Structure 1
Amino acid sequence: MISRRNLIKNFSAVPLLGGLAGTTNLLPFLDAAAAPAKDYFRDLGIRTFINAAGTYTSMTGSLMLPEVLSAIQYASKEYVILDDLQDKVGQRIASLAKCEYAVVTSGAASAITLGLTGVLTGMDEKKAELVPHLAGTGMKTEVVMQKAHDIPYAHALKNTGVKVILVETKAELEKAINDQTAMLFFVNANNFDGQVQVEEFLQVAKAHRLPAMIDCAADVPPVENLWKYTAMGYDMVCFSGGKGIRGPQSAGLLLGKEKYIKAARLSMPPRGNTVGRGMKVNKEEILGMLVALELYLQKDHAKEWKQWEAQVALIGNAAASVPGVHTATKVPPIANHIPTLHVSWDPAKLPLSAAALQEKLRKGTPSIEVAGSPEGKPHAISITTWMMVPGQEKIVAARLKEALSNV
């Protein structure tokens, strides 16, 4: 059993980035850092768990690396001008992601809303103050996307006041475009669900001289996706910061064309009378996001992939040793593109539902969260290891085998 006390001890031992530079008196902070760690979650009566499910927002995404925490701690001790920080960090991120311009947003959904707002308003500050009330402003009022891409997160488009037009075929897509069409929107994770796929969709946008935005929220790894779609020609690409990149959970990235992202910044804090005022990103998150991205690009991705495969194999072998249990390792084609263990069982041999197994793992010590079957099967679960602390895969393997054996 992993000691939560030891985990907290390991993750709290984070050095200050940049030494003791700056004008701030750091002694009170150093004294606080030397104090024994307090178990805040336990005091609040909140359950912590081993994350064998993935980067779900409901499970608070990913764990930030020590270097990211160090950058956040560093940023918390000095004042800067918010726009200056976004300027400089945006320049660095644009260079790293091989695009014209970039900005740190409060998640991928915020990137969608703000990017579209930039398309609607251009560099007109007065128009930025009118969004989402578009009628009579001269701003365009429609966005076109495929019906198969109408996921809940696409609501971020509607925050700007536009009407979302849903289509199914290429012919319908072409017909839906009119003088009120502001942008075409594509959800990369659903690429193979729609009839018009990623490159053809972009071709339609270019043919009609319309900006195209693509939602790639959970689409790293592979690392190449960070520049693949801007290189392809998409005007804006939206990523979550707190998933595979392991930045702050409430941060995201808007990458792409300078003219649209600069316009999007007119609706971002510190400006107040805009639709984006509530989408504030603080200096700690901005710097933490930059450091997380730098670390992600420096990582040995091939080595990490082999580690995930070995961890998944360990858990899979333990589960498959129980009579009636079947396992398979699969890799989703786009979003959450990582080795994923599918565990299923014969209900005639193991009269156990997926929900019941999830609850057994959840209520054990330590608590473990696993995901349901991607296909919605009643006697199957799925497991990933990429959000685990190394070594936790051994605990998951033992606990899963135990839970399946004692039915």
Structure 2
Amino acid sequence: MTNRRSFLKGLGALPASTMLASETGFAQGIERDHFSDIGVKPFINAAAAYSALGGRNMWPKVVEAMEYARERNVIMEELQDAVGKRLASLIGCEAAMVTGGATSSMTLGTAACITGTNEELIRQVPDLRGMKNEVIIQKSHRYSYDHGVRSAGVQLIEVETAEELERAIGDKTAMLFFFFLNDAKGQIKLREFAALGKKHGIPTLIDGSNSVPPLSRLSEYLDAGFDLAAFSGGKGLRGPYSSGMLLGRKDLIEAARLNNSPHADTVGRAMKVSKEELLGMLAAVEFSLSFDYSVENVRETRIVHLIADKLSVYKNITTKVSYPRTESGRPHLQIFWDKSLTPLTVEQAQKELEDGEPSIRTCYLALSDGELEVGAAMLKDDEVDMLVQRLGQVLAPRAG
């Protein structure tokens, strides 16, 4: 059982000026325009810390830790041991490991539930002949990233009710899988789902990838009864882009590590994590625990309302502040226009924003109720006026 009190103990808030000053200082002294040199065009990120858009900018303390690791040689297993113990202590869970991202965590967690520490079974994955090869999931929780579970070779068994889930459990059941973002869509809610796993002695894994902040989520799912929880490292935690964490039961974390690099004949060999990423992920959690995330919320709220105010001069444009659950309730701005005056679909408007100068990316339609939506998490203050100008240009009334 995790201990939220110890998890939050000593959580000192850092002022916004500390963070902003350190980020500004880190940006100084860069002389070469690397992206321009190779013909890659930067863009204004008015969306979110999506993986396809590069994730979130790392804390300067993370970069500092990675630079420290770059200059030194260590045994990788010893470093994973030490980092895992430190993360488990900070978070208040039995065990932890750094992975190559949330999807990597899902693959390794699934493999762990299939093989345990049996080296012969570990070498066999993803060929599951003669092994447990089924993972039960709610039909409403199917999504593209469940490929991370399927990568371990399992078949997903879809159910809709608790009764169906219990009937589906059999000798081939390796694990029960839950997607945090679809909790409201499924008939079996989060705590009940975890309890069903406990009742039948089947391990449970939850994908909590982009649910942080708040930092309490790192312990919340395990407190709710899940055996394993997967998280992204390069989004809200602002660690290395290609990092993540798998948290949970000590025996399952041990098995997940045996299924991972540096072990050669394993399903996770291709999911290698460098010493720089291991130390960077630890630094990200340490710094995040001391950072007052309300500072970010205040800043993003201010920017969203500033954009809305500046867009109000355009008579055919209206706006609405939203708080999408997909982004942990961070403030976003939905933008609407009179389509009789500007006959553009949302997709066409996005395309014009992307193709213009500067290029601007907005929130994925699947994550924004199909509307043109902008987020402020990745926006710099000096990009706001350019964003408003480009929106005004693209959405301006057009002659018939």
Same fold (TM over 0.5): yes
Aligned to 2:391: 400
Aligned to 2:159: 167
Q: Deviations over 1:47-78 (max 9, x none)?
A: 10111111212111111122211211221111
* Greater mean deviation of Cα atoms: 345-354 or 44-53: 345-354
Q: 1:195 to 1:275 in 2, by over 3 A?
A: same
Q: State the AA in 2 paired with 1:392.
A: E
* Greater mean deviation of Cα atoms: 277-286 or 326-335: 326-335
Of 35, 40, 49, the match for 1:46: 40
Alignment partner of 1:391 is 2:371: no
Matches within 5 A, 1:122-271: 122-136=116-130, 139-271=131-263
Aligned to 2:83: 89
- 2: CA distance between counterparts of 1:120 and 1:147? 22
Q: State the AA in 2 paired with 1:405.
A: A
Q: 1:377 to 1:279 in 2, by over 3 A?
A: closer
Aligned to 2:372: 381
Q: 1:209 to 1:274 in 2, by over 3 A?
A: same
- 2: CA distance between counterparts of 1:376 and 1:52? 13
Shift, 1:357, TM fit: 2.2
- 2: CA distance between counterparts of 1:99 and 1:393? 41
Q: Is the 8 A contact 1:189 1:335 kept in 2?
A: no
Aligned to 2:308: 316
Shift, 1:92, TM fit: 1.3
Q: State the AA in 2 paired with 1:44.
A: I
Aligned to 2:17: none
Of 55, 60, 64, the match for 1:66: 60
Q: State the AA in 2 paired with 1:116.
A: T
Query: What is the total number of aligned residue pairs between the two structures?
Result: 376
Aligned to 1:24: none
Shift, 1:335, TM fit: 4.7
Q: Is the 8 A contact 1:342 1:373 kept in 2?
A: no
Q: Is the 8 A contact 2:94 2:250 kept in 1?
A: yes
| Structure 2: unaligned runs, 5 residues or longer | 1-22
Q: Is the 8 A contact 1:314 1:397 kept in 2?
A: no
Q: State the AA in 2 paired with 1:230.
A: L
- 2: CA distance between counterparts of 1:306 and 1:401? 25
| Structure 1: unaligned runs, 5 residues or longer | 1-7, 14-33
Q: Is the 8 A contact 1:184 1:210 kept in 2?
A: yes
Shift, 1:370, TM fit: 0.9
Of 361, 368, 381, the match for 2:360: 368
Q: State the AA in 2 paired with 1:112.
A: M
Q: Percent identity?
A: 40
Q: 1:298 to 1:394 in 2, by over 3 A?
A: farther
Q: Deviations over 1:308-349 (max 9, x none)?
A: 111111112222331122211111235543111111122013
- 1: CA distance between counterparts of 2:369 and 2:250? 45
Matches within 5 A, 1:264-283: 264-283=256-275
- 2: CA distance between counterparts of 1:48 and 1:89? 34
Q: Is the 8 A contact 2:341 2:397 kept in 1?
A: no
Q: Is the 8 A contact 1:183 1:210 kept in 2?
A: yes
Q: Deviations over 1:94-116 (max 9, x none)?
A: 12222111000001010001011
- 2: CA distance between counterparts of 1:377 and 1:9? 35
Aligned to 1:301: 293
- 2: CA distance between counterparts of 1:41 and 1:340? 29
TM-score (ref. length: structure 2): 0.89
Q: 1:126 to 1:376 in 2, by over 3 A?
A: same
Aligned to 1:28: none
Aligned to 2:4: none
Q: State the AA in 1 paired with 2:376.
A: T
Q: 1:147 to 1:186 in 2, by over 3 A?
A: same
Aligned to 1:20: none
Shift, 1:395, TM fit: 3.2
Q: State the AA in 1 paired with 2:80.
A: Q
* Greater mean deviation of Cα atoms: 284-293 or 353-362: 353-362
- 1: CA distance between counterparts of 2:87 and 2:333? 33
Q: Is the 8 A contact 2:206 2:229 kept in 1?
A: yes
- 2: CA distance between counterparts of 1:39 and 1:193? 46
SS in structure 2 of the partner of residue 391 of structure 1: helix
Q: State the AA in 2 paired with 1:70.
A: E
- 2: CA distance between counterparts of 1:219 and 1:357? 29
Q: Is the 8 A contact 1:318 1:398 kept in 2?
A: no
SS in structure 2 of the partner of residue 242 of structure 1: coil
TM-score (ref. length: structure 1): 0.87
Q: Deviations over 1:156-193 (max 9, x none)?
A: 11111111101112221111111211110000011111
Shift, 1:376, TM fit: 7.1
Q: State the AA in 2 paired with 1:150.
A: R
Q: Is the 8 A contact 2:232 2:245 kept in 1?
A: yes
Q: Is the 8 A contact 1:324 1:349 kept in 2?
A: yes
